[in-house]
Chains A and B, each alone.
Chain A
Amino acid sequence: MFADEFKALRRLGFRHVLLQVLNFIQVLASGFMMWKGLGLVTNTESPIVVVLSGSMEPAFYRGDLLFLTNPSAKRYATGDITVYKIPGADIPIVHRVLETHDVVSKDYVAASPLAQPQLILTKGDNNPVDDLDLYQGLEWLERRHIIGKVQGFLPYVGYVTIAMNDFPQLKYALLGGLGLLALIQRE
């Protein structure tokens, strides 16, 4: 089945194989660099997330892709859609801000107004009640729990990753296929 390909591989020699491996690693590395660079620009740990639940329907469905930013000089406001992760919870949640309380602490003078704590309460558009029960004992959400604010939206595309999580064979088949192609390709 792959006899021709193997023959071609042998003809090209060891150096060529090494070069292809190098190319493949370079592709992986530049992808990783782009991801991390985007994270630096948008100031979030994950600038692109996939919607995993239906709590923001009919706006966002499972498998939609969201683009986040987390500008350090701006506070969150009501109506913003935030992605937050409670310590101890395993998946981030995409919900809308329902209440903000910008507290002024009497104990210290902050260097900037943004250094003051902001207490946030969120709610999913499709949920009847707010998220207090999701906070695992926390009373309010704070900025340090929030990964970012949703700025852009791309439907369906993220379903690929959900499918790969549900069927790991698909992931290995895809990775293996790509790796083989990279080795065999002549140019």
Chain B
Amino acid sequence: MHTISSRVSNVSAFLSSCIMGLVLAVAVTSALYQMYQTPPAGELAVTNLKVLPGKGRYSRKYGTRQQEFAFVNLNLTADLSPLFHWNTKQLFLYVSAEYTDQQGTVNDVVIWDRIVRRKEDANISSNIHNKYRFKAMSPTFQNVPPAQYTLKYNVMPYIGMLAWGEAARTSEPIPFPEAHQLS
């Protein structure tokens, strides 16, 4: 029978399986491409690190308390344009500080991030400073061991699997200086 309804249903079924096949092909090929791609290597260096006392919001329950904050200036050079392929919607870049404190707590704190939406903007060479408050679990940085700073990325696709990776790391842990006294 070649009625209108059967034609419509055939065409729409064919179209939807075509779209599903295309989507699957894009997702699988880009995931494989990402898996075998050599990860980009950049450079990250701390140019300035200061610790200043201040008043930090501790929690809604406990209110504010005296708290030291670290202020980090970094120099970041990385060419992340190879991460842009046919299925990259955007890159989410973030710099985090990693350190294990004296209580044995492993800390990982994101201090800066950026969303890159175009391949032309992915070749990064800039001086950055922390966007988010960087404080230790304790009120002071006094006995906090040196921290490593890393640049990581998250490749976010138009469709399919997300991928994560590390693009740069400071060559050695950087110790926290004495807190400045504000008078």
Contact = CB atoms under 8 A, between A and B. Distances in A.
Given A99-B110, A153-B159, A104 B105 contact: yes
A88 to B, nearest CB: 14
Interface stretch (B32-40, B74-82, B140-148, B149-157): B149-157
Contacts of A78: 94, 96, 108-110, 152
Main secondary structure of the interface of B (DSSP, over half): strand
B161 A59 contact: no
A102 B60 contact: no
A137 B61 contact: yes
A150 B89 CA distance: 16
Contact of A125 (B103, B115, B152, B159): B115
Interface string A106-137: 00000000000000000101000010110001
Nearest to A57: B115
A37 interface: no
Given A98-B132, A130-B132, A79 B154 contact: yes
Contacts of B161: 151-153
Interface residues of A, number: 29
A123 B94 CA distance: 13
Interface in B132-183: 132, 137, 152, 154, 156-162, 164
Contacts of B152: 78-79
Interface of A: 58-59, 77-81, 96-104, 123, 125, 130, 132-133, 137, 139, 150-155
Closest 5 CB pairs of A and B: A104-B104, A102-B106, A139-B59, A100-B108, A78-B108
Given A78-B96, A100-B107, 14 more contacts: A58-B89, A58-B115, A77-B108, A79-B92, A79-B94, A79-B152, A98-B109, A99-B108, A101-B137, A103-B103, A132-B59, A152-B27, A153-B161, A155-B158
6 contacts: A78-B110, A81-B162, A98-B110, A132-B57, A153-B159, A153-B160
